Amino acid sequence: MQAARYRIRADILNPAPNGSCRWVRDGELVFGPDGIIVRCGRRGGGDASATRIPAPRGAVIIPGLVDCHTHLSQYHVRGRTGHTLMDWLGSYVFPAEAAFRDRAFARAVANGFFRKLLANGVTTAALYANYRTGAEQALSAAAALGIRAAVGLTLMDRGVPAALRQRPEQALEDCRHLAEQARGCGNGRAWFSVNPRFAPAVSARFMEMIGRFAGSSGVYIQTHLSENPAEIALVRKLYPGIGSYAGVYDRFGLLTDRTLLAHCIHLTPAERRLVSRRRCAVVHCPSSNLFLHSGRFPIEHWSGYRKLCLGTDVGAGPSFSMLDTMRDAYFVNRQSPERLFCQATLGGAAALGLERMIGSLAPGKQADFSVVTIGERAGTSGSELLSDLIFKWDQVTFHRVFVAGREVYRA
């Protein structure tokens, strides 16, 4: 006998790899008890026996959103204004991150952080945590709440307050332990990542150790690249022998197809060629770039890049909402809503090498999706409906959110 399936009926917005979006009016999503999608399309595919999941009137189903760059430890410093990157780190971020040595505090914040992501329809996130304790708590909280997460340990051994400086050998030991923990939790939905903070905070020796560990263990690598002119000048001073900022990471084997590079605002043509040759993901963080006056991400160089994705960059980005992030990306570069939607879904999935599993709603993929309503829904095409979603953010409600067919959030 066939195991019970589930079906949910609503309009469906689904991204396509070519940067377009398919709108299915009166659609139906059917998935099995294993959380794998069986059908996604127009109503009436003969699955009448499937258990019905109710959806509100006028609801729209969208795939789970993928936030490719955010900082768990910066939860409390959102909206601290008046600075550019380097001052902001010193005034707010470093003191905030130092608090994550405390296990109970780290656990409470991790829980709140992931709940916020789920409440905004984010079903997969790549993030930065601090200290072994902080990353441990993040991995357990993600697994318990059912979100997919690449949890990174922020690595730094210079240029930051003593409380945050790590001994490279100990940090690598922590990485081994956390990679092991990630393998054993979250039913394959949790991953570990090494996150050298950025080149100014990591010595060449540490960088080399991190590169070697990442190469042998296959974990993700997340870092910041070319966000701010003062940061770039500092890298040039600290790594005088290497021609470019991207070249520093490359020297130590940190530019790979498992690497997510946040910002990439001020890259030279040669750096852009290097990043795409190494098939790294490029994470555009428009809200953060606006907030810290870091500069405009030059979309014209990346618009066709398969691994272009979006990140909220909380806390420099003040919002957990990928809809807000898409809206800011529009204001900065005027891309179409369809393209932004693709970057927030399929682009994020591709960035993490998970595009066969998540990023859109299709048979064989995991049923990661949200059921949303838009207060003054007026769109009469997929594009207009997407515009409603992105620009009427104050009227959007995420009613229910599912990861692998399991409900992980309900409004």
Instruction: Rule CB under 5 A: say whether 97 interacts with Zn ion.
Output: no
Per-residue CA distances from 238 to 49, 242, 410 (Å): 65, 10, 49
Stretch that binds Zn ion, among 12-20, 306-314, 322-330, 331-339 (CB under 5 A): 306-314
Shortest spacing between CB 168 and Zn ion, in angstroms? 22
Shortest spacing between CB 24 and Zn ion, in angstroms? 36
> Which residue's CB is nearer to Zn ion, number 250 or number 313?
313
> Which residue's CB is nearer to Zn ion, number 53 or number 98?
98
Stretch that binds Zn ion, among 91-99, 105-113, 312-320, 373-381 (CB under 5 A): 312-320
Stretch that binds Zn ion, among 307-315, 317-325, 327-335, 355-363 (CB under 5 A): 307-315
φ, ψ (nearest 5 deg) of residue 326: -65, -40
> Which residue's CB is nearer to Zn ion, number 262 or number 396?
262
Stretch that binds Zn ion, among 13-21, 130-138, 247-255, 310-318 (CB under 5 A): 310-318
Shortest spacing between CB 98 and Zn ion, in angstroms? 17
Which tokens is 271 given?
């750096």
Shortest spacing between CB 69 and Zn ion, in angstroms? 6
DSSP letter string, 211-266? HHHHHHH--EEEEEES--HHHHHHHHHHSTTSS-HHHHHHHTT--STTEEEEE--S
Position of minimal CB gap to Zn ion: 313
Strands 21-31 and 6-15, bridge-based pairing: antiparallel
Report the distance separating Cα 225 and Cα 232, nearest Å: 9
Shortest spacing between CB 86 and Zn ion, in angstroms? 13
> Which residue's CB is nearer to Zn ion, number 68 or number 403?
68
> Which residue's CB is nearer to Zn ion, number 259 or number 373?
259
Shortest spacing between CB 229 and Zn ion, in angstroms? 17
Radius of gyration from C-alpha coordinates of the chain: 21
Shortest spacing between CB 258 and Zn ion, in angstroms? 18
Shortest spacing between CB 245 and Zn ion, in angstroms? 15
By CB under 5 A, the residues from 215 to 244 that bind Zn ion are: none
> Which residue's CB is nearer to Zn ion, number 67 or number 313?
313
Calculate the dihedral angle through the C-alpha atoms of 353, 72, 64, 294, rounding to the nearest 10 degrees. Answer: -80
Stretch that binds Zn ion, among 39-47, 168-176, 311-319, 327-335 (CB under 5 A): 311-319
> Which residue's CB is nearer to Zn ion, number 50 or number 262?
262
> Which residue's CB is nearer to Zn ion, number 249 or number 398?
249
SS3 call for 45: coil
Shortest spacing between CB 88 and Zn ion, in angstroms? 11
Contact criterion met (CB below 8 Å) for 22 and 33: no
**Nearest of 343, 283, 290, 292 to residue 93 by alpha carbon:** 292
- Which stretch of DSSP H or E encloses residue 193? strand 190-196
Contact criterion met (CB below 8 Å) for 138 and 110: yes
Q: In the block, which residue shows the tokens 């914040």?
A: 109
Stretch that binds Zn ion, among 34-42, 57-65, 174-182, 309-317 (CB under 5 A): 309-317
From start to end of 32-78, where are the E strands? 37-42, 51-53, 60-63, 65-71
Q: Which of 11, 250, 313, 324 binds Zn ion (CB under 5 A)?
A: 313
> Which residue's CB is nearer to Zn ion, number 67 or number 355?
67
Site for Zn ion (CB under 5 A): how many residues? 1
φ, ψ (nearest 5 deg) of residue 160: -135, 165
**Nearest of 181, 191, 314, 339 to residue 258 by alpha carbon:** 191
Contact positions vs Zn ion (CB under 5 A): 313
